[in-house]
Amino acid sequence: MGFLDNLLIGFSISLTQTNLLYCFIGVFLGTVIGVLPGLGPTATIAILLPVTFKLDITSAIIMLSGIYYGSQYGGTITSVLVNIPGEAASVVTCFDGYQMARKGRAGAALGIAAFGSFIGGTFGIIGLSTLTFLSSIALLVGPLEYSALMFLGCSLVIYFSSKSLLKGLMMGVLGFLLSTIGMDSITAVERFTFGSLSLIEGINVAILAMGLFGIGEVLYLAEKEKERERADILNVSTSFFSLLPNRRDWKDSSLPIARGSLLGFLLGILPGGGAVISSFISYGMEKRISKNPEKFGKGAIEGVAGPETANNAASQGAFIPLLLLGIPPNVVAALILAAFMIHGVTPGPLFLIEKPNLFWGIVTSMYIGNIMLLILNVPLIKVFVQILLVPYSVLSPLILLFCFIGAYSINNNPMDVLILAIFGIAGYLMRKFQFEPGPLMLTFVIGPIFEKSLRQAILIGSANPQIFISRPIAIIFFAIAMYLYLSPLIRYFIRKHKVKAAI
């Protein structure tokens, strides 16, 4: 079947009334949580995971994906109007977006960000639609290469997303350990259940995610004074026509948008790259190649257009390793992978062959979602700004409530609510002790797949260590990962050697 046929099948699925509704709910919620500082796509997807249990898998994934890429749009609004990034990927937008708003050009900044996001997002989806051959390449590799690739993917995420490499690694190991609780998938022997029936099936991913990201975040914010204060919103015109960039804006932004699309997409594919890094790199690149770098930080539209395009292209690019290789390149993608697995579907090299309708349904829903976001964001920015006025005193207990009901609804068991509260306290302590829960969640989700592949590889190689030597691709992946972990020490010894040589 050709590319166009696949797209048509996909649209026939994504354009059904139900899927359109869930796509809208996803992108709308995504924009809302993108606007709200402190509540990101990770917490929102975690809170909504139990809701997806009862949904059809296509609708569920369409909605969760919409939240992810929709949040990139919403994050811009607060960056420009309040100088507070609603999302980590919108931090750089504060530099020039807020300055533009102070000069009375908020409309142009928000407008170019929305159009840039649309173009970057669409570029990412086209890339996703055309790079499906990657899954056929992935089919050629064995379980050892697959586990090595997963190991490298996790290592990259830990390396790039953790403030402390050591602590990130500890969280990664802990997540993997938690994933071993329950019945072993190969020998069917119980591990760390201690006779508890509710632990035989392992820890529920939704309860863990809601506890760590939902309740943990609320508790952490409960003790913070500064973060709870609502910032002043710049009183600027956000009427429809003021949001349309003029000819000069388009001229200045067209090349940054083009570069941001390509850069964001490429970085989005790489594990650990993602929206945050791509927006920073895009900003740095635009500043470096600009004829007037002194304009940056004072309201240069290129400083808004490039990063905003890049972070959206990256969030779409992240679906390539997730859907085609089964490897989530970041924590949000790991939660979407968890939603797939809840429904008994594992994305990966065989996903496109086994579930083509689901794959193309999700991909085409992204085209629709991006158009919805453009329509929502340009004329309705004023409405979204009002969301910033919702006080934490109302929002915090609401998040807790959603988590409680979500946990209860999984098995109608109050024990699950207790487990949720325990994970919530653990999430709070992690933040307090400066451990990021992201790597834990990632390894918790892909831990069982990694373990299965690794044990299969050892079995195939009859436990002969030579199997590790005879597979060069796996060795390269493992070696890069080991270099990442040892790089601080390697750099230290190189520096020490240089100092000694100088003396």
C-alpha 14: how far from chain center? 22
389-408 residues in contact with other proteins (CB under 8 A) are 391-394, 396-398, 400-401, 404-405, 408
102 forms part of the interface with other proteins (CB under 8 A): no
Residue 12 or 434: the one with the smaller Cβ distance to other proteins is: 434
Pairwise CA distance, residues 295 & 302, whole Å? 10
The nearer residue to other proteins, 166 or 375, going by C-beta atoms, is 166
> 25 to 54, contacts with other proteins by CB under 8 A?
51, 54
Shortest distance, position 463 Cβ to other proteins, whole Å: 4
Strand positions, DSSP E, 136-187: 182-183
In angstroms, rounded to a whole number, what is the distance separating the alpha carbons of residues 259 and 241?
27
Binding of other proteins at residue 200 (CB under 8 A)? no
Q: Binding residue for other proteins (CB under 8 A) from 255, 455, 467, 480?
A: 455
Provide, rounded to whole angstroms, the least separation between the CB of residue 4 and other proteins: 37
Q: For residues 142-171, which are near other proteins according to CB under 8 A?
A: 163-167, 169-170
* Dist. CA 163–CA 64, nearest whole Å: 27
Neighbours of 133 (CB within 10 A): 10
Which DSSP symbol is given to 191? Answer: E
If one asks whether residue 222 binds other proteins (CB under 8 A), the answer comes out as yes
Q: Nearer Cβ to other proteins, position 187 or 235? A: 187
Residue type at position 184: D
The residue from 432, 479, 483, 497 that contacts other proteins (CB under 8 A) is: 432
Q: Where are the alpha helices (DSSP H) in 412-471?
A: 414-432, 437-460, 466-469
Region of 18-26, 185-193, 304-312, 360-368 interacting with other proteins (CB under 8 A): 185-193
Stretch that binds other proteins, among 33-41, 61-69, 186-194, 309-317 (CB under 8 A): 186-194
Residue 183, beta-bridge partner list = 190
CB-based contact 309:260 (threshold 8 Å):
yes
Judged by CB, which is closer to other proteins: 194, or 241? 194
- From 150, 436, 119, 142, select the one nearest 250 (Cα to Cα): 119
Between 81 and 399, CB nearer to other proteins: 399
DSSP category for residue 23: H
**Least distance (Å) between residue 339 CB and other proteins:** 16
Q: Does 104 bind other proteins (CB under 8 A)?
A: no
With binding defined as CB under 8 A, does residue 466 bind other proteins?
Answer: no
Minimal distance, residue 227 CB to other proteins, in Å: 8
Q: Binding residues for other proteins, how many (CB under 8 A)?
A: 67
Please tell me whether residue 459 binds other proteins under the rule CB under 8 A. yes
Question: Taking a C-beta distance cutoff of 8 angstroms, is the pair 101, 236 a contact?
Answer: yes
DSSP 324: I
Query: For residue 497, what are the CA distances in angstroms to 490, 491, 492?
Result: 11, 10, 9
Q: Which residues of 183-217 are buried (b: 16+ CB within 10 A; e: fewer)?
A: eeeeeeeeeebeeeeebeebbbbbbbbbbbbbbbb
Half-sphere exposure at residue 51, Cβ-oriented, CA atoms within 13 angstroms = 17
Q: Which is nearer to other proteins, 50 or 121 (CB)?
A: 50
Picking from 216, 276, 213, 265, the residue whose alpha carbon sits closest to that of residue 442 is: 213
Find the shortest distance in angstroms from Cβ 172 to other proteins. 9
Q: Considering only residues 417, 467, 475, 480, which one is a binding residue for other proteins as defined by CB under 8 A?
A: 417
Question: Which tokens belong to 362?
Answer: 């999700």
Residues lying near other proteins in the complex (CB under 8 A): 51, 54, 163-167, 169-170, 173-174, 176-177, 180, 184, 186-187, 189, 191-192, 215, 218-219, 222-226, 391-394, 396-398, 400-401, 404-405, 408-409, 412, 414, 417-418, 421, 424-425, 428, 432-435, 451, 454-455, 458-459, 462-463, 487-488, 491-492, 495-496, 499
